[in-house]
Structure 1
Amino acid sequence: MITKNKNSTPYIIGITGSVASGKTTLAQTIKIFLKKYLKKKITNISTDNFLYSNKKLEKKKITHKKGFPESYNFKNLMKFLQKVKLKKEKIKIPKYSHLNYDIIKNKHIKINKTDILILEGLNILQIKSYQQQKNKQKKILSDLINFSIYVHAPEKFLKKWYKDRLLNLYKNRNQYKECFLKKFNNLTKKELFNQLTLIWNTINKLNLTKNILPTKERATLILNKTYNHKINKIKYKI
């Protein structure tokens, strides 16, 4: 329940699910809905902003595991949520660009007290990966989340939505000064399609089955999607 008490602890809504499941769109929709009915400051943040930079991933030799739990700076993500809960002012976090496919150097997102935080990301309901250092009270990220939503869909649809999204971005890549898909400029359409299929099968699908999907039943609310992102089933845990 979202309280109206001005001195209440900020409420955190967590949204998780596979790559291309529609987490960001859902987060934006919830924000619009809540703003219409509540006089609250609402902030949307993606855990992508807490990914290690591509340079750091390369140094750790886990570039091929971008999006996996080990590719995130969980320590800083936990600190950020704790600051939000304490209503700290002028919180500064890194900024991730989906065009650059990397953390933007010397760019930050600033948050100055918020009543409701909508946090969306792949691994927010993980258990082991979010534990703090030794000799400290062990907490996991979901301990700080008040209400969690898992967006579920059959893998065949997720794969299609992922490809459609990147193919659309690829078509418009030259409109942007920097776009990571420009590295595929010399590929034919068929070669590009095959490359995206390879990325899905070796990274996104593996991350989904190994790390993300096992956390589904930990969510307060599960939204099941079918073709064209239509929700055909809702499961709510009281």
Structure 2
Amino acid sequence: MQFAAQGEHGPLEYFDYQRSEWAQLRQSVPMTLSEDDLAKLQGINEDVSLSQVVDIYLPLSRLLNLYVKSRQDRREVITNFLGNKQHVPYIIGVSGSVAVGKSTTSRILQALLSRWPEHPKVDIVTTDGFLYPLEELKKRGLIKRKGFPESYDTKALLDFVARLKSGRDVVSAPIYSHLSYDILPEQFVEVRQPDIVILEGLNVLQNRSDFDGNSPRSLISDFLDFTIFVDAEMDLLRRWYIERFLRFRKGAFADPQSYFHSYAQLDQKQATDVASGIWDSINEVNLLENINPTRGHADLILEKGDNHQIQRVRLRK
């Protein structure tokens, strides 16, 4: 079956697989994760089963391994010809709504891909680290637009990805704290010549068709080798966000150092109302205006149903 989506230069066609059909593409790829491994990888409000890893993520890791191996082979030819060796990572972009499970998808892929002998070093970088600090967001009047494209230091993010692609030995990225809801001053994560980088973020798939003819000269998507969009219906996303908020209320929000510590004092109904308000006024608006329009740019779409179960996979032709 085929599925059409709108891309930068017109309709894009996708191969459309139900879960059982996609699972057959695993072939003989071995399962390399245990139940304990998986428990450490999944998010606070997700229950990813080993069977889903087998059916969905193992075939995907096989596909990505083939892509990475092909790129490595081509680069080796160029290296032999020019006589100068550069270690340039393969960059996978992972996007989708708040609460859809981007981080879990990224961590599972990291665990599986790092077990392939061709590319044992796989790093995850989240674009959260490139949000403007809270003080800067306040100055720009963007506190209620946090997560929208304009709330990111796009130049710093572009510079980071460009340095990765230039084969630098060490590239640093700022660190974001979900506890303080802010960038940690003078703290950085160092990325040291990985074979693969998984770049996870809300807006990493934006391309020139999203800018009405006024696009910047460079975009993050220009540097991505393969892109994944994690998708779900709006009512599921809203429910997952509220459920996650309620769990945070009893967990991370209870920490006195948490930016959201005041929410820990709310009762169930109050917390549900607050979460609903945040979703309706911020996250849903960002999803409709900025995130969902990039879905058709993805090389692969993972479509989730109830309980975060991936029911369908769409692979661009």
| Residue identity in the other structure for 1:217 | G
Measured after TM superposition, the shift of residue 129 of structure 1 is: 11
* CA distance in structure 2 between the partners assigned to 1:106 and 1:164 by the alignment: 33
Pick the aligned partner of 1:79 from 138, 159, 167: 159
- Secondary structure of the residue aligned to 2:260 is helix
Q: 1:188 to 1:129 in 2, by over 3 A?
A: farther
Counterpart in the other structure of 2:260: 181
Pick the aligned partner of 2:142 from 47, 62, 65: 62
* CA distance in structure 2 between the partners assigned to 1:191 and 1:50 by the alignment: 32
Measured after TM superposition, the shift of residue 159 of structure 1 is: 1.0
* CA distance in structure 1 between the partners assigned to 2:205 and 2:122 by the alignment: 21
* CA distance in structure 1 between the partners assigned to 2:88 and 2:273 by the alignment: 48
Find the structure with the greater CA-based Rg: 2
CA contact (8 A) 2:229 2:295 kept: yes
- Secondary structure of the residue aligned to 1:126 is coil
* CA distance in structure 2 between the partners assigned to 1:198 and 1:129 by the alignment: 31
Counterpart in the other structure of 1:234: 313
- Aligned alpha-carbon RMSD (Å): 2.1
Measured after TM superposition, the shift of residue 70 of structure 1 is: 0.3
CA contact (8 A) 1:74 1:129 kept: no
CA contact (8 A) 1:78 1:130 kept: no
Whether 1:2 aligns to 2:82 is: no
**Runs of 5+ in structure 1 lacking a partner?**
none
CA contact (8 A) 2:253 2:260 kept: no
* CA distance in structure 2 between the partners assigned to 1:129 and 1:175 by the alignment: 43
Q: 1:208 to 1:11 in 2, by over 3 A?
A: same
TM-score normalised per structure 1: 0.92
Counterpart in the other structure of 2:131: 51
- Secondary structure of the residue aligned to 1:26 is helix
TM-score normalised per structure 2: 0.69
What whole-Å deviation, never above 9, does each CA across 1:63-97 have from its counterpart, x for those lacking one?
11000000001111111011111121232221001
Measured after TM superposition, the shift of residue 8 of structure 1 is: 5.5
Pick the aligned partner of 2:278 from 173, 181, 199: 199
CA contact (8 A) 1:75 1:130 kept: no
Counterpart in the other structure of 1:23: 102
Number of equivalenced pairs: 234
Q: 1:130 to 1:104 in 2, by over 3 A?
A: farther
* CA distance in structure 1 between the partners assigned to 2:273 and 2:160 by the alignment: 38
